[in-house]
Amino acid sequence: MLCRTTSILAISVFFTVGCSTRHEGTPQDRLSNVIGQADKIVVFESELENAKVLFSSTASKDIAEFNDALAVVPPKDGFKCACIAAPAVRLYRGGTELVLVTNYGGFMVGSSLWGSDAMIKDPEKWLKWFGARNMPRPREEFEESRVRAEKAENAYTRWLAAMPKSIQPLWEQATRDELSPNTTPLREALNRDIPKPKLRAMELFSWYGSGAGPWSGYPSYEGIAEELLLDIPTPELIAAAQADNLTDAQLEGAARLFGGWGFSQKRTGDGKLLPARLKKKLLEHALKSTDEDKLDRAKDAFSQ
């Protein structure tokens, strides 16, 4: 599950948005009180209309255990997940819906009583409630998210380790604003410590070739290396890529740059400047990959 959150909702929203029936106390109290009134619980595959029913019960035990599992951590800032909930739980009394609870990845929930989503306090208890009722998908999604998070953390650690030494002390401050990083101090440090464009390009090739792997759909912070590479004139970039004994990371960085969308758009026509021998070298490197998008881009850039 890919989830995009925003912080435009303040914490006050989470605590003040109510429901059709007034309930005092914290969001957790309001939700628990409403669930405690329910006489039926139904789990749907999603919150979409006509979604498949996965589980339905009028047993007080099922409702009480659901209520107990649904403990949340009030968010410091409001946020909403821009994704489809799976599954979605609706609770009723006398045929009237009291509340909708939406599950996101097995670690976050939304509620029709709140203006914000919230993190589950005890994901294991939450996942067990679904698993005990033959609904394995929340746990599977939770594990998938955990694996993705671990891969992302490992990729970022590798990225930091490959970063040119001159900009390492500046990185955190420069990227504090993820949407608009300040690359000026990074550029100044690189130009000062590696004044020769060819050598600077080789250093940046190594960094750009140490990313998460994809040439598109990659973490936004990786674009900074491309931006710094595109400060260097194309002839110098080509000269650096033709150097003998390039490492795999440098070959990857060069192939990624010359085969990427940014180079084709910002250096229109410069792809024709690449010597046939260099194209062959970069294509041979890229063909070792199993990433279809990368293969397509490399073939388009280097097969002509």
DSSP bridge pairs for 91: 41, 99
Give phi and psi for 56, each to the nearest 5: -150, 135
Task: Give the pLDDT score at 24.
Answer: 54
What's residue 159's pLDDT? 97
The pLDDT tens digits of the residues spanning 217-240 come to: 999 999 999 999 999 999 999 999
For the chain, the domains span 11-138, 148-302
Mean pLDDT across the stretch 245-263? 96
Query: Amino acid identity, residue 200?
Result: R
The tokens for 205 are 């090739």
CA distance 292 to 261: 16
Q: What does the pLDDT average to over 199-210?
A: 97
Beta bridge pairs of residue 104: 108
Global pTM value: 0.74
Average pLDDT of the residues in 40-65? 95
Separation between Cα atoms, residue 5 and residue 80, nearest integer Å = 5
CA dist 286 and 258 (Å) reads 12
Q: Which residue has the tokens 């990729």?
A: 155
CATH topology of domain 11-138: Dna Ligase; domain 1 (3.30.1490)
Segment 4-28, tens digit of pLDDT:
333 322 223 333 333 333 345 788 8
Helix (H) or strand (E) holding 119: strand 118-120
Query: Measured between alpha carbons, how far is 160 from 250 in angstroms, rounded to an integer?
Result: 16
What is d(CA 13, CA 78) in angstroms, rounded to the nearest whole number? 7
Nearest to 212 by CA among 265, 280, 267, 157: 157
pLDDT in tens, 97-138: 999 999 999 999 999 988 888 899 999 999 999 999 999 999
Q: How far is CA 43 from the centre of its chain?
A: 27
pLDDT-based confidence at 54, cuts 50/70/90? very high
Instruction: Tell me the CA end-to-end span of the chain in Å, nearest whole number.
Output: 38
Strand ranges of the sheet holding 108-111, from the earlier edge strand across to the other edge? 53-57, 40-44, 88-93, 96-104, 108-111, 118-120, 72-73
SS3 103: strand
Angle between helices 197-208 and 234-241 (to 10 degrees): 70
Q: What percent of the chain has pLDDT over 90?
A: 79
Task: Give the 3-state secondary structure of residue 99.
Answer: strand
Kindly tell me if the per-residue pLDDT of 68 is higher than 70: yes
Euclidean distance between CA atoms 271 and 301, whole angstroms: 7
pLDDT in tens, 266-301: 999 999 999 999 999 999 999 999 999 999 999 999
Phi, psi of 110 (to 5 degrees): -120, 165
Q: How far is CA 96 from the centre of its chain?
A: 37
pLDDT mean across residues, the chain: 89
The pLDDT score that the predictor gives to residue 49 is 87
Interstrand relation of 96-104 and 88-93 (parallel, antiparallel or unpaired): antiparallel
Per-residue pLDDT tens for 155-188? 999 999 999 999 999 999 999 998 899 999 999 9
